[in-house]
Amino acid sequence: MSEAGGGRGCGSSVPQRAPWSLVAATAAFCLVSATSVWTAGAAPMSREERQKLGNQVLEMFDHAYGNYMEHAYPADELMPLTCRGRVRGQEPSRGDVDDALGKFSLTLIDSLDTLVVLNKTKEFEDAVRKVLRDVNLDNDVVVSVFETNIRVLGGLLGGHSLAIMLKEKGEYMQWYNDELLQMAKQLGYKLLPAFNTTSGLPYPRINLKFGIRKPEARTGTETDTCTACAGTLILEFAALSRFTGATIFEEYARKALDFLWEKRQRSSNLVGVTINIHTGDWVRKDSGVGAGIDSYYEYLLKAYVLLGDDSFLERFNTHYDAIMRYISQPPLLLDVHIHKPMLNARTWMDALLAFFPGLQVLKGDIRPAIETHEMLYQVIKKHNFLPEAFTTDFRVHWAQHPLRPEFAESTYFLYKATGDPYYLEVGKTLIENLNKYARVPCGFAAMKDVRTGSHEDRMDSFFLAEMFKYLYLLFADKEDIIFDIEDYIFTTEAHLLPLWLSTTNQSISKKNTTSEYTELDDSNFDWTCPNTQILFPNDPLYAQSIREPLKNVVDKSCPRGIIRVREESFRSGAKPPLRARDFMATNPEHLEILKKMGAASSIDAEDGLRFMQEMIELSSQQQKEQQLPPRAVQIVSHPFFGRVVLTAGPAQFGLDLSKHKETRGFVASSKPYNGCSELTNPEAVMGKIALIQRGQCMFAEKARNIQNAGAIGGIVIDDNEGSSSDTAPLFQMAGDGKDTDDIKIPMLFLFSKEGSIILDAIREYEEVEVLLSDKAKDRAAILKGKMIPSYIINSNPEMENEEQPSSENDSQSAEQITSSSQEVDLVDQGSPEESSLNSQPESLSPADTDNAASVSPSEQISNPMENHETTSLDGECTDLDNQLQEQSETEEDSNPNVSWGKKVQPIDSILADWNEDIEAFEMMEKDEL
Ligand code: DMJ
């Protein structure tokens, strides 16, 4: 696009380093599109292959959208495992996540402009008619202002933008008369009461029908909101104002942004994660580029692109400078404290920050974008998806993955900026993983645990709004899209707004804005607009040369919480700081170091605080290390073929699936169903996996009864109707307090909702075969030896309609499989892990009572799912861990007084000593505000 078309380049009054080469808001705002100059590096991908991948994306979209429309619409979202709509109030509440659901057919609205990008114009026309006919924006439901803005208002505006584009082309949408825009305006007015605060920051939630603070509204008493929640409105609100001429929306969004800018921490120029909407105090003073803040930064830069207002670029550049100074520790991006920005606030990163490399491309800062993207890609290669959170040494911290699009977004932008076909290969991997691990017969299911491959009954609307757009555009040529994508800017939900809005209804742009930039000097703009003519001209291997040193960063190295402050002094021979994991209370040198912390220099004080922080994490980690990770029940028979994976709780007795081969077999219900006495149907469960209902007797007793009847495994299904691992913490089944070594078969636990997926499958298909394992298995391995068309394995779209395997084939191979399942090693050698668990009966349930509801899970169980990985799975960090082990052994050897593992001061008592210090630190932070 040209500047005349809207948007701004560097040709403004803002200090700059180089002219914008191309103002393509879709991607490389500052960059030359290098696709045409690429000559070396990763092998180029042929047009044919790119088209094939594009077609695959189209087929995947059809699978997701088609199932939503067929089985869920007009509900807000599809539940892909149970194949029905998610209607708020009819499902157990999931807390804040549900605030996106307003009974307004969310997924349909969020998908509107994706249909046009994917060249499904006819379907778009139908979808718009449905929105106009069916969607009600006046429901008595409390929704998130942020989510409603980015998904619904953004969706309507994106739909309107492309509807008028199509109308102008003269073929489609000839009947369209701004109806989507009218709906957007109606919704805009519904959101405005949220801004009725003295600060101008919006309340986080609003009742669509009753607004805020009215007794019927059930909202309006909140005091805090996240920075992104208050700072991610300007694109949609300004577009609404400029499309309609009603200036109020842009004014309100600008006011909120002005307030946030005023409240930035003045010495670091960072913002916190949560702010009090009445006082403007920072409630959470940690600062990063991921959850809670992410799109605030994104909207400052994009507001400049869309609205051409220099003040937004100045603010963005000021924050960006602070981010690169404090948060960016390439390839990592680590949260810090806004008042002590040299102090890391966490030792883990969240998945939302994966959008940041894309934003850096828009900014024109390619090198760190390539570095962070590469690091993220390696985490993905290890776990197939980006876990919601992962540590600085790349272990899983929070194992869920709700099919987030941020990494695909950054991949697209990096490809546009560098033209490096490597990024096409990255996109191809994303497609393969989605088809292999997330695709289920009724759509795509979020990953509940990337380590086990288990699913959640959830397909968020952003998956359709964003993922398919970015993936399709990655492989598309200009002529594959029916309009010029470079005439539009992507919102944070990937909705498209036309850049010509910058020259429309501009009258409000400066009204009511506060501005004070005198403190800024040229050094704030060091990162601005590097010119890709300089970056790339004679070196097409540029991106590769940046990735190369990082290529083993995840697999081979496990950075131990990278802290840069003293990098220089390490190099000059000074000792690295004492880390919590190395600390021994019996080591005099360690005690001496500890004494110094907090006493002398500020560096010592920082060491002390970090040490405390690490001790807290270590302490909770050690508690969790007593727990077993979740397991997977994978349905492998027709028509599931491994595509449905259920999260299961392990047992503290029986075969340990993490140490033995998985167990595979057909399922059969035991009689009696509770499995509390000798089975009356041993012939039915012999050689099979028995289903037993929870309750009436101990888990171990059930296991013995089915084992005596010849079962090769057991699945206990919760008797608590409606329970689900979506809403209840998963737990491990305890033994009976006695010796359980006689139980040799594996036992897993499913909540009622997951259990009923198996029970329903039996009702429908009679023969249902499952795999019990520690992690879902690759479908190719599952189907080995079976006559299955390759589309099942590869999910190759063109073959989707081909004949399915006959039931004859199925039963034939079922025999093979049954016999192979009998080869499973049933002899449990016992493990130290189990014996240590069994030796702590006080933490375990004494019995599986028949009154489950009266026993809280926390009383009865330990929770292996609780968000954090506790041990190094998959042999991660082995090399470094070995070195560390060797190192501690050497230390021990050289100091005969040190007895490793004995006499160590309990962590609790160390923490108690430091509580006072932590409080003092917090007080200090508060005073500085
Ligand atoms: C989307 O709704 C938007 O991208 C938002 O900014 C945060 N992330 C989700 C998807 O992960």
Query: Is 670 close to ligand 1, i.e. is its CB under 6 Å away?
Result: no
Query: Is 295 close to ligand 1, i.e. is its CB under 6 Å away?
Result: yes
Among candidate residues 707, 175, 598, the one with its CA nearest the CA of residue 692: 707
Residue among 110, 298, 462 whose CB has most ligand 1 atoms within 8 A, to mutate:
462
Q: What is the pLDDT of residue 881?
A: 33
Specify the higher pLDDT residue, 404 or 626.
404
Question: Three-state SS for 283?
Answer: strand
Structural contact between residues 5 and 487, judged by C-beta atoms closer than 8 angstroms: yes
Residues 6+ apart with CB under 8 A from 12: 308, 310, 313
Torsion angle defined by CA atoms of residues 507, 513, 518 and 523, in that order, rounded to the nearest 10 degrees: -80
Residue 861 has pLDDT above 80, yes or no: no
Give the atom of ligand 1 at the shortest distance from the alpha carbon of 351.
11
Percent of the chain scoring above 90 in pLDDT: 58
Structural contact between residues 450 and 399, judged by C-beta atoms closer than 8 angstroms: yes
- Region 247-255: what's the mean pLDDT? 97
Structural contact between residues 762 and 768, judged by C-beta atoms closer than 8 angstroms: yes
Of 406, 662, 719, 726, which one is the catalytic site residue?
406
Torsion angle defined by CA atoms of residues 316, 320, 326 and 329, in that order, rounded to the nearest 10 degrees: 150
**Annotation marks residue 123 as catalytic:** no
Residue 144 has pLDDT above 80, yes or no: yes
Residue among 97, 492, 495 whose CB has most ligand 1 atoms within 8 A, to mutate:
492
Residue 908 has pLDDT above 60, yes or no: no
Among candidate residues 543, 418, 432, 415, the one with its CA nearest the CA of residue 476: 415
Taking every pair of Cα atoms in the chain, the longest distance, rounded to a whole number of angstroms, is 87
CA dist., res. 69 & res. 85, Å (int): 9
Residues 6+ apart with CB under 8 A from 197: 203, 277, 278
**Annotation marks residue 147 as catalytic:** yes
The answer to whether the Cα torsion of 550, 556, 561, 567 is positive or negative is negative
Of 99, 147, 350, 487, which one is the catalytic site residue?
147
- Region 723-733: what's the mean pLDDT? 78
CA dist., res. 890 & res. 235, Å (int): 59
- Region 886-895: what's the mean pLDDT? 35
Phi, psi of 271 (to 5 degrees): -115, 155
Residue 280 has pLDDT above 90, yes or no: yes
Q: What is the pLDDT of residue 764?
A: 86
Strand runs labelled E in 718-795: 747-750, 769-773
- Region 769-782: what's the mean pLDDT? 85
Give the relative orientation of helices 154-169 and 106-117 as an angle to the nearest 10 degrees. 40
Among candidate residues 59, 78, 222, 242, the one with its CA nearest the CA of residue 146: 222
CA dist., res. 457 & res. 81, Å (int): 5
Confidence of residue 468 (pLDDT cuts 50, 70, 90): very high
Residues 6+ apart with CB under 8 A from 571: none
Classify burial at 891, counting beta carbons within 10 Å of its beta carbon; exposed 0-12, middle 13-18, buried 19 or more: middle
Structural contact between residues 209 and 139, judged by C-beta atoms closer than 8 angstroms: yes
Q: What is the pLDDT of residue 576?
A: 52
Residue 245 has pLDDT above 70, yes or no: yes
The answer to pTM > 0.95 is no
Residues 6+ apart with CB under 8 A from 604: 596, 597, 598
Residue 565 host element (H or E): none
Lowest-pLDDT range of 228-242, 322-336, 629-643: 629-643
Query: Is 404 close to ligand 1, i.e. is its CB under 6 Å away?
Result: yes
pLDDT averaged over every residue in the chain: 77
CA dist., res. 819 & res. 813, Å (int): 10
Report the separation in Å between the CA atom of 404 and the middle of ligand 1, taken as the mean of its atom positions.
7
For the stretch 810-835, pLDDT in tens is 333 322 322 222 222 222 222 333 22
User: Would you list the DSSP string of 529-551?
Assistant: ---HHHHSTT-TTHHHHHHGGGT
For the stretch 580-617, pLDDT in tens is 555 555 566 666 676 666 554 555 555 565 566 556 55
Residue 211 has pLDDT above 90, yes or no: yes
Of 388, 449, 493, 606, which one is the catalytic site residue?
388
Q: What is the pLDDT of residue 89?
A: 94
Q: What is the pLDDT of residue 743?
A: 95
Report the separation in Å between the CA atom of 335 and the middle of ligand 1, taken as the mean of its atom positions.
19
Phi, psi of 686 (to 5 degrees): -55, 125
Report the separation in Å between the CA atom of 430 and the middle of ligand 1, taken as the mean of its atom positions.
18
Lowest-pLDDT range of 77-91, 603-617, 645-659: 603-617
Q: What is the pLDDT of residue 129?
A: 98
Between the alpha carbon of residue 310 and those of residues 317, 498, 515, the distances in Å are: 11, 19, 11
Query: Is 834 close to ligand 1, i.e. is its CB under 6 Å away?
Result: no
CB neighbours (10 Å) of residue 132?
13
Confidence of residue 728 (pLDDT cuts 50, 70, 90): confident
CA dist., res. 391 & res. 561, Å (int): 8
**Annotation marks residue 262 as catalytic:** no
Residues 6+ apart with CB under 8 A from 458: 77, 79, 80, 86, 402, 445, 446, 726
User: Which of 6-10, 519-523, 584-588, 750-754 has the largest mean confidence?
Assistant: 750-754
Question: Which residues in 33-68 are b (16+ Cβ under 10 Å) and which e?
Answer: bbeeebeebbebbeeeebebbbebbbbbbbbbbebb
Query: Is 350 close to ligand 1, i.e. is its CB under 6 Å away?
Result: no
Confidence of residue 506 (pLDDT cuts 50, 70, 90): confident
Binding site membership: which residues? 492
User: Which of 377-386, 581-590, 792-801 has the largest mean confidence?
Assistant: 377-386
Confidence of residue 265 (pLDDT cuts 50, 70, 90): very high
CB neighbours (10 Å) of residue 917?
15
Provide the β-strand partners of residue 333. 328
Q: What is the pLDDT of residue 549?
A: 84
Q: Which residue has the tokens 């990337």?
A: 450
Cis peptide before 672 (omega within 30 of 0): yes
Confidence of residue 83 (pLDDT cuts 50, 70, 90): very high
Confidence of residue 720 (pLDDT cuts 50, 70, 90): confident
Specify the higher pLDDT residue, 421 or 805.
421
Cis peptide before 331 (omega within 30 of 0): yes
Q: What is the pLDDT of residue 325?
A: 97
CA dist., res. 846 & res. 740, Å (int): 13
Among candidate residues 515, 164, 468, 551, the one with its CA nearest the CA of residue 310: 515
Binding site membership for Ca(2+): which residues? 492
User: Which of 137-141, 695-699, 797-801 has the largest mean confidence?
Assistant: 137-141
- Region 266-289: what's the mean pLDDT? 98
Among candidate residues 492, 359, 283, the one with its CA nearest the CA of residue 31: 359
Structural contact between residues 387 and 345, judged by C-beta atoms closer than 8 angstroms: no
Percent of the chain scoring above 70 in pLDDT: 68
Classify burial at 789, counting beta carbons within 10 Å of its beta carbon; exposed 0-12, middle 13-18, buried 19 or more: middle
Q: What is the pLDDT of residue 522?
A: 44
Q: What is the pLDDT of residue 732?
A: 85
Provide the β-strand partners of residue 256. none
**Annotation marks residue 815 as catalytic:** no
- Region 169-196: what's the mean pLDDT? 98
